Structure 1
Amino acid sequence: MKIIKAEITYYRWPRPQPITNGLHTYTDVTLGVVKLHTDEGVTGIGISGAKPGEKELIATFCEQIIGMNPFMSEAIWKKLWNPKISGRRGMETRALSAIDFALWDIKAKVANLPLYVLLGGARERIPTYVTGGYYTPGKGLDGLGEEMAGYVSRGARAVKMKVGALSPRDDAARVKLVREAIGPDVKLMVDANCAYTYYDAISFGRFVADYDVFWFEEPVQPDDYEGMKKIAAAVPVTLASGENEYTKHGFRDLIATQAVGILQPDARYTGGITEFMKIAALAQAHGLDICPHGDQQTHLHLLAAIPNGLMIEFYPKEFDPMWGRVYLNTPDINDDGTVTVPGVPGNGCEPNEKELQKYKVA
């Protein structure tokens, strides 16, 4: 089997209202779909972002793999990950990830198996946590409490909220309110999206220590390993990090800090499925769990394939008007707070092109 053609299509649509975390505001949803066609009629789907640089690198990388065997994903990964020529972490690794996703989709489709089964298959249902609690215009404390309690009423057993845009004391007040709104039996996580200095993170962590916070995510910038070590030593809350880490080498170094208890690789960023599975094995060897960052659709099969997958991040329909219409198979939260992995052959990311067509930008 050989790759004979690559297609790349990008889509963009507006959110109902902008959402803001500790550092960034998002007004639109963007999606890239990479299709790798083979000479045997099997097409692999990869999912990407649509940022400047990433798009150009995807196109360049696709040109380089025409004629190669899609089953030889290690050979393709090695060919494309060339630090001297294209760089070693960032948009180049994100571009490689989209292609790697498509390669594994081809393998699973040829085997007529869901991807998680092809990768080893640890389970069919994945515990979830719902991400919300953004800073949105006009939403006060009452609105925040109602929002988070609403996720629980729909089946969520764990929820995550954003912090970092206000002072540590003011954000701690938001956390206290959410804990009271969701009750004592629901896991509550907080995510600063790298917004704090290490000393503000310590202050915030101490303020929320009595609210049973399950993890404190990305308190400082991703390269601030020393800051994370200081926070971990001073705050009685488990740290989580990794969405801005790249490749197994980056996670090797993050694990070596001994500051982070839960790793959050995003397979769309860190090198695709090939690299994600190696990171998961590395984490398992160190007794660490995986909670991948980002789009649930792209990570369901991966978390179902590993024994140390803790929970999957789930983005609710409130933030995306296309929720349930982007992919042909979109699982929702079950009554027990889990999500069931789609049983279709492949990676489960087949795009709903009829619905997406009106948002096509390239």
Structure 2
Amino acid sequence: MCRIDSEIFNIVRIRIRSLQPVKTVTPFQDATMGPFATYGISIITIEDENGNIGEAPIFQTYTNILESSLFPILFHSHNISYKEIYPKLYWSIRNEGFKGPASALLGQVDLALYDLAARRRNMPLYNYIEAGRSEVEMYGSGGGVNYSYQQLEEEIAVFTKAGARCYKMKVGKDFGTKMNEDIERVKFVKQLLGKDIKLAVDANQIWSCNDALRFLDAVGEDNLHWFEEPIHSASYEQIEALCKRTNVTIAYGESERTSKIFPTLVNSGVRHLQPVPTQIGGVKEWMEVKDLAQRNGISFSSGGYSLYTSFLVASGPEGYYVEYLYSLMHGLEKYFLHYPSWKEGKFFLPEIAGLPVRINWDYCHRENLITAQMVWEKRNVPKYKPSVSI
């Protein structure tokens, strides 16, 4: 039985606070979105009857799902173990669907519960889940399609200085219409990286199977460590067709909100899985995907708010990566009291209870950096009433 299964959470207060967006290191754009000049974060804080808290990043734009489904169950599950609460939380979002924001919200709440459980036992989360090590390999992520060659060179210098052994860049410029420019940028970056640093590319789903093959023919299959989301993530037939026609490792998983999809990806020929802990329906669902990768002997990485969730990758074998999208994430570090250090191509997790990131709330209050706040008390939240689905 997992350690958390016997934990009891008598929740009395929940708070969501949004922090002022920070400037990105370089305005960042991919195939279909951006440029992002700023990047923000909202935090959920869950408090039990003894004043213990757990925190995690959360979507702050879907409070209707939280208020109608998840919070009523959390507040009114007195003296009930996690093993009993989680299925209730899981099935409460059934009518919202397991492939959208409801599932991600469940995972974000779940991460906060894990943080609470580990904090009140005064254990780092990597110890709480029995990960066995406190460092994980990091890969550098960035290379926006809007970057100049000089900006690419400057970003790569940051990663190489920190010992990164893999770099991922974006392709698919202008909704996939500038492939020739993509090809030249890839060749430029490959020359910068040399033989010692691997290169991965991410097309953010913009191309067809034939487009992806044309791109691979031009850049050379041997030059890529993996090719991420070249085709729409729901187009399993085309994904399978591509996997059958190339030797390049094809990567998928960031767009998925449930572990139930990942066996289909593996059966389609995907050989690099990428579940995002704050986008999927809970820690155990993320673990299911990690275990699936291990059973099938395929590669694995995980991103999102990766400073927070790097402890999970420590539960996998050596060679599993944490993504660090430096341009977006670096600015958020001013909000943190503690976070993983980055050197020798690895994240080293701090020896603090709970998640490996701790917000400096005193600083945020002092500098008026909290832009929005919502608070729910147990006494003000009615018991859960499931909606009828017809």
Calculate the TM-score normalised by the size of structure 1: 0.90
Match of 2:210 in 1: 199
**8 A contact 2:309–2:355 mirrored in 1:** no
User: Quick one: distance in 2 between partners of 1:127 and 1:14?
Assistant: 26
User: Quick one: distance in 1 between partners of 2:137 and 2:151?
Assistant: 26
**8 A contact 1:121–1:305 mirrored in 2:** yes
Match of 2:143 in 1: 133
Match of 1:86 in 2: 96
Q: Deviations over 1:304-353 (max 9, x none)?
A: 1223761110122x44563422322122321x211111211111232222
Q: State the one-letter code of the partner of 2:71.
A: C
1:341 aligns with 2:353: no
User: Quick one: distance in 1 between partners of 2:46 and 2:13?
Assistant: 6
Alignment of 1:34-183 (within 5 A): 34-50=44-60, 52=61, 54-60=62-68, 61-68=70-77, 72-82=81-91, 84-136=94-146, 139-165=147-173, 166-183=177-194
Q: Where do 4+ consecutive residues of structure 1 move more than 6 Å?
A: none
Gaps of 5+ in 1: none
Q: CA RMSD in A?
A: 2.2
**Structure 1 residues 100, 210: CA separation in 2 closer, same or farther (over 3 Å shift)?**
closer
**8 A contact 1:328–1:352 mirrored in 2:** yes
Match of 1:33 in 2: 43
**Structure 1 residues 344, 330: CA separation in 2 closer, same or farther (over 3 Å shift)?**
same
- Secondary structure of the equivalent of 2:97? coil
User: Quick one: distance in 2 between partners of 1:285 and 1:210?
Assistant: 26
**8 A contact 1:117–1:305 mirrored in 2:** no
**8 A contact 2:167–2:200 mirrored in 1:** yes
CA displacement at 1:117 relative to structure 2: 1.2
User: Quick one: distance in 2 between partners of 1:98 and 1:310?
Assistant: 22
Match of 1:273 in 2: 283
1:224 aligns with 2:235: yes
**Structure 1 residues 327, 68: CA separation in 2 closer, same or farther (over 3 Å shift)?**
farther
CA displacement at 1:27 relative to structure 2: 3.4
User: Quick one: distance in 2 between partners of 1:210 and 1:224?
Assistant: 22
Percent identity of paired positions between Structure 1 and Structure 2: 26
Gaps of 5+ in 2: 1-7, 373-390
**Which range moved further: 307-316 or 231-240?**
307-316
**Alignment counterpart, residue 242 of structure 1, candidates 235, 238, 253:** 253
Q: State the one-letter code of the partner of 1:132.
A: G
User: Quick one: distance in 2 between partners of 1:183 and 1:313?
Assistant: 20
User: Quick one: distance in 2 between partners of 1:172 and 1:71?
Assistant: 56
CA displacement at 1:163 relative to structure 2: 0.5
Q: State the one-letter code of the partner of 2:89.
A: L
Larger radius of gyration: 2
Q: State the one-letter code of the partner of 1:240.
A: A
Between 1 and 2, higher relative CO (CA 8 Å, sep ≥ 6) is seen in: 2
User: Quick one: distance in 2 between partners of 1:321 and 1:284?
Assistant: 31
- Secondary structure of the equivalent of 1:305? coil
**8 A contact 1:71–1:107 mirrored in 2:** no
**Structure 1 residues 262, 320: CA separation in 2 closer, same or farther (over 3 Å shift)?**
closer
- Secondary structure of the equivalent of 2:137? strand
CA displacement at 1:355 relative to structure 2: 4.0
1:325 aligns with 2:334: yes
CA displacement at 1:15 relative to structure 2: 2.5
1:187 aligns with 2:195: no
**8 A contact 2:340–2:357 mirrored in 1:** no
**Structure 1 residues 195, 39: CA separation in 2 closer, same or farther (over 3 Å shift)?**
same
1:18 aligns with 2:27: yes
User: Quick one: distance in 1 between partners of 2:143 and 2:149?
Assistant: 10
- Secondary structure of the equivalent of 2:342? coil
Q: Deviations over 1:63-95 (max 9, x none)?
A: 321033698334333212235433222110111
